[in-house]
Structure 1
């Protein structure tokens, strides 16, 4: 049958036009992810072509919307942190690097908050005719009307793919996290997604361990244990290491019953991972069996790529965490699935 040209052509005609994702080792949800990405690209293009002027009959004018939304966002975003008071309460301490981490994070967020609040206030004044709209304000105004993140803000911001409304809500949550940290002391569990520069938190934890046990920091590595979902959060921090939360698994899910990575549920693209106990240990004493673990990369956004910053760190990649896998699948299976952990989702 397949020894002639017609035989080959007949067989080729029976092949599907669109290949199923399983052929490439991907989950069936990959089709849904691809469709969503294509749809969002089309909507983004259409949104960029839409003008911001005019108004529908009986509707609000763009100026009214700008005035209301800028005032709303300005009221939601807290003023900058009092870094001098924070530094006085949490001074530089050789045995507690988290003091320095918190103070540095506040400085980073203050730079962003000052720009965001100043531009929102200027938008309100520009709507009332008190100031002239420059290129930066026009960009922010367009972002407010289209619910997109202004590039003027993102130049001093942490990476994010959220729409403007989601970005503001996320920023407010991050500011609340550090405000509670300053007000109530070091938290028993850390929202790892809330850090501007996550690597500073990880390095600070390693420094605490290294100084406590008089070990060289470059000889340390992380061990990970995903905890069972508990009805109540722990009241105290662990004696060794730290508890973190806020990671999402993309391309698979965490099976809390079995304590391993499992296949995604149909039409469920991501799932939150329970609290993780991260424990530093000496690399020479690490007895972890890597054959039963998946080395999952952790990214800040689903873009899964970034650039090297001046510190030598990626602007998107955070670290690699080791998660247990069942005997049913090898690590190669999850590599083909493209499994990774994210600190934030796109919505």
Structure 2
């Protein structure tokens, strides 16, 4: 904010026909710009995508603000907010939920109360407000007395938000240290008696993964079993079986080739070299991650893969969809949800375009959900990030200290026709495939928006918190 006030000259500070309003709104604009820039330190809880907001955005917005105050007797708030947040800053923003956040902030800082209220509060913390009107030096002095480090609550964030960014910084540091570790070869360690060589370690890990991964699911047998019922859900099942069988085949063949390469029976290609280094570092080789994005380390990823395959193997064996679907287990979850809508459209003889989702969060344990719903599906295994969940009242609450994510009870995804507008007491919570909300390798991470009760606070409270549902975690 100090730097922004240096961009504004003394003549600019006094040129406006309504100087008091201008100075108040200028301070609000500086605060708004600073919030947008500093919010990126919270990583995925800050912005889904990091944007390059710059000084020219601020300068253009300041000029617009001054012009509108001079030209109009009554401040055209909607036009001003649209030009600043929708066009100027919004020109950088490509993600819909980031745009929603931007709109929330501009609505907070640019309103009638900003110019009519003395010491207008800019945050839930008492330290941050628009100071008493005065010369430019008085504003600079006020800014110089603000805390050097911003508390997460200045941004509307929970204190836990700092922890996530600190964990990410620590992980980056460890990854850097790991990359600097000398690449010890078998010859160098054999004489020194320094334990197993890299080749031996990778060979052991590869054998362990090879032993743990499940066998292929019987695709042809399942297709024959479902031949009489070509329903959308059965089509999804067959597609998922094909994808997982292809992945299992890739894993098995690459590990067998790697073992041959370690023994010197085949030439180590660049692909095998990459697989070798990934397994040594307990990372998932890129060749395997193509099936579905994941941030899990190798051991967790292998366990997760076994659970995924088990879900579809059991479904294929019984030829009946499960009562509870683990949405995270699908390689293409949006395809599955579309299939559910198509099934409902056929069942009720309506157009699929007229259907949307209603979300009912269960208040009972999964053990009590013995039968599938008449319409829609039960979805389990989702995690809530940036909030906690009150199971009794079925609404969002503040996360507990140190609680970065919490499991949310099973949700009934129910197709409904011509759904009414969302109530103000509901928060449209984005659901992402994995913690990288911007997606990976050209594949979007966003799956579906889930309406959740916002509880004792308005829905924009959770927008600033960056609250979202995650289908899988990074551990």
Aligned pair 1:104/2:104, yes or no? no
After TM superposition, which residue ranges in structure 1, 4 or more long, deviate above 6 angstroms?
1-10
Out of 163, 169, 174, the position equivalent to 2:308 is: 174
Aligned pair 1:128/2:241, yes or no? no
Out of 203, 206, 212, the position equivalent to 1:76 is: 212
d(CA) in 2 for partners of 1:191 and 1:112? 19
Q: Is the 8 A contact 1:92 1:100 kept in 2?
A: no
Where 1:291 maps in the other structure, the secondary structure is coil
Q: Which runs of 5+ in 2 are unaligned?
A: 1-131
Deviation at 1:13, TM superposition (A): 5.1
Q: Is the 8 A contact 2:222 2:317 kept in 1?
A: no
Out of 157, 177, 186, the position equivalent to 1:26 is: 157
d(CA) in 2 for partners of 1:143 and 1:220? 44
RMSD: 2.2
Equivalent pairs, count: 338
Out of 59, 64, 72, the position equivalent to 2:195 is: 59
d(CA) in 1 for partners of 2:377 and 2:213? 29
d(CA) in 2 for partners of 1:231 and 1:209? 23
Deviation at 1:12, TM superposition (A): 4.8
d(CA) in 2 for partners of 1:249 and 1:89? 38
Distance change in 2, residues 1:295/1:160 (3 Å): same
Aligned pair 1:297/2:430, yes or no? yes
Deviation at 1:3, TM superposition (A): 6.8
Distance change in 2, residues 1:173/1:233 (3 Å): farther
Distance change in 2, residues 1:92/1:206 (3 Å): farther
Deviation at 1:137, TM superposition (A): 0.8
Out of 454, 457, 460, the position equivalent to 1:325 is: 454
Deviation at 1:307, TM superposition (A): 6.3
Deviation at 1:308, TM superposition (A): 9.0
Aligned pair 1:306/2:435, yes or no? no
Which residue does the alignment assign to 1:149? 284
79-88 vs 332-341, which moves further: 79-88
Can you list the C-alpha shifts for 1:196-241, whole angstroms capped at 9, x where unaligned?
0001110111111000111100110000000014161523211111
Out of 251, 254, 263, the position equivalent to 2:398 is: 263
Q: Is the 8 A contact 1:79 1:113 kept in 2?
A: yes
Which of structures 1 and 2 has the larger relative contact order (alpha carbons within 8 angstroms, sep 6+)? 1
| Bigger Cα Rg | 2
Where 2:424 maps in the other structure, the secondary structure is helix
Deviation at 1:295, TM superposition (A): 0.3
d(CA) in 1 for partners of 2:405 and 2:371? 29
Give the TM-score of the pair, scaled to structure 2: 0.67
* Larger relative helix fraction: 2
Q: Is the 8 A contact 1:92 1:99 kept in 2?
A: no
Which residue does the alignment assign to 2:355? 220
Distance change in 2, residues 1:87/1:52 (3 Å): farther
Aligned pair 1:17/2:148, yes or no? yes
Can you list the C-alpha shifts for 1:276-300, whole angstroms capped at 9, x where unaligned?
11110102xx246521211001101
Can you list the C-alpha shifts for 1:110-155, whole angstroms capped at 9, x where unaligned?
222211111111122222222221111110110111011222222x
Distance change in 2, residues 1:239/1:3 (3 Å): closer
Q: Which runs of 5+ in 1 are unaligned?
A: none
Deviation at 1:247, TM superposition (A): 0.6
Give the TM-score of the pair, scaled to structure 1: 0.91
Where 1:199 maps in the other structure, the secondary structure is helix
Distance change in 2, residues 1:170/1:53 (3 Å): same
Aligned pair 1:195/2:330, yes or no? yes
d(CA) in 2 for partners of 1:254 and 1:333? 15
1:233-244 counterparts in 2 under 5 A? 233-244=368-379
